[in-house]
Amino acid sequence: MKCAGTIDVRDVDESSINIDPIQVGGRLTADAMKAMIAYGDGYSVCDQCRKPFRLDYIRTPPIDQFHRDLASFVNMDTARVVPGARRGFQAVADAFISAGDPVLITALSHYTEVLAIEGRGGVIREIPKNESNIITSDLAAQKIEEVTREFRHSPTLLFLDHFDYQYGNCHEVEGIIRIAHQYDVPVLYNGAYTVGIMPVDGKKIGADFVVGSGHKSMAAPAPSGMLATTSEWAGRVFRTTGVTTDVTGRTFGIKEIGMMGCTLMGVTLMGMMASFPHVRERVNCWERELANGQKVVDALMAIEGTVIKSEYPRNHTLTRVDTTGSFDRVAQVHKKRGFFFSSALKGKGIAGIIPGATKVWKFNTYGMTGSQAEYLAAAFRDIARENGLAVTD
């Protein structure tokens, strides 16, 4: 079926249980879908834009209030919506980093943090992970010391992911931030895999900046996200234009330089806003999400030769699994080779695993119902049994 012309209807989530590691937290709520219907046209939020002509001042629809709600949601002082977490990283990088400045990330940081720093000419230094793939306070302290000796001053900024995209492991954010602050290093907390799916308290964590992803974890269309900060840093990262042009003498009111003026002027913002009441509620159901994830992890662990590569017990619904000793053994002799696995999953109505992957792969159970989690767990066990792998009951 086509939506229009050569564009297929996308019905992955209507026809299947989707376990794509990056997609599940960004699936829209019914209210966001309805907002998409009503606000799909270009600059649709600008109907009632009045002086001072800035997105976060618009009252109808209540975008001004939404900005205050977002800040309060992550317990920070000020927030802006941004076109994806990556643009939040970039805004902070632009405000803080000069060419040659040392900037810390971690061995499990997302690539967009690297690009944000590289774009400013910053010098990237990584805090290593330990043998369990965790970023610890001790390793952070060692690295800050090392970088401070190398550059004769402390790092300009630290980008820190609470849960990483590779393992979905929980890192020692509070301890690391405490140490970073002892060296006067401001910290950007990357909540792409937390804000919108579990409770996040920016002040309790001690973050200077909290970045969230609308399309990854806040049930919003892409590209959307948020950047929140404290009153200490708001003036710097959300600084306003002061220029007067030479020929026309124009000035540009209170447009924010780091935001490139207004950010999300249409359907992305309205989707994010429509989902927000549900998102605010759903973060309180994180334990239920973990329990659903556990059912699936237990099923995989029951299959002989399967190893969970993420920390265990799981603290996140995104999990990395190594099936080299199980499903990949089947792939070696199966007529479909590595594609047997994704094909078998597809046959059972499960989508989101990269076709051909049978060694190390990731999945995310976020947002599924209890029955869907049980169905998925049973599907993994059944595929194993159907292909001659031993499964512990």
Structure tokens at 135: 């970023």
Question: Min. distance of Cβ 314 from another protein in angstroms?
Answer: 23
Residues 338 and 327: their CA atoms lie apart, in Å, by 8
Question: Min. distance of Cβ 365 from another protein in angstroms?
Answer: 14
For 103, phi and psi rounded to 5 degrees?
Answer: -130, 135
Structure tokens at 316: 């996140």
Question: Min. distance of Cβ 30 from another protein in angstroms?
Answer: 4
Nearer to another protein, 235 or 355 (CB): 355
Nearer to another protein, 13 or 322 (CB): 13
Structure tokens at 344: 């078998």
Closest by Cα among 239, 230, 217, 226 to 69: 226
Question: Min. distance of Cβ 298 from another protein in angstroms?
Answer: 21
Question: Min. distance of Cβ 19 from another protein in angstroms?
Answer: 12
Nearer to another protein, 329 or 348 (CB): 348
Question: Min. distance of Cβ 275 from another protein in angstroms?
Answer: 12
Residue ranges with strand state E in the chain? 2-4, 7-8, 17-18, 78-82, 102-106, 123-127, 157-161, 187-190, 209-213, 225-229, 307-308, 318-322, 350-351, 360-364
Residue 364, CA distances (Å) to 91, 165, 284, 361 in order? 29, 11, 18, 11
Nearer to another protein, 251 or 369 (CB): 369
Closest by Cα among 225, 196, 193, 203 to 92: 225
53: left (phi over 0), alpha (psi -120 to 50) or beta: left
Residue 181 burial (CB count, 10 A): 14
Which position has the token pair 């800050």?
144
* DSSP structural state of residue 9: P
Question: Min. distance of Cβ 371 from another protein in angstroms?
Answer: 8
Nearer to another protein, 4 or 37 (CB): 37
Nearer to another protein, 29 or 78 (CB): 29
Instruction: Provide the angle, in degrees to the nearest 10, between the axes of the packed helices 267-282 and 30-38.
Output: 160
Nearer to another protein, 17 or 104 (CB): 17
Residues 354 and 271: their CA atoms lie apart, in Å, by 28
Chain residues binding another protein by CB under 8 A are: 13-17, 27, 29-30, 33-34, 37-38, 348-350, 369, 372, 375
Nearer to another protein, 18 or 137 (CB): 18
Closest by Cα among 370, 368, 375, 369 to 24: 368
Nearer to another protein, 13 or 94 (CB): 13
Q: Residue 210's Cα: distance from chain center in Å?
A: 12
Nearer to another protein, 252 or 375 (CB): 375
Question: Min. distance of Cβ 246 from another protein in angstroms?
Answer: 48
Question: Min. distance of Cβ 99 from another protein in angstroms?
Answer: 48
Q: Is 347 in contact with 390 (CB distance < 8 Å)?
A: no
Question: Min. distance of Cβ 7 from another protein in angstroms?
Answer: 18
Closest by Cα among 323, 304, 308, 298 to 389: 304
Question: Min. distance of Cβ 370 from another protein in angstroms?
Answer: 11
Strand order in the sheet with 78-82: 78-82, 225-229, 209-213, 187-190, 157-161, 102-106, 123-127
Nearer to another protein, 130 or 369 (CB): 369
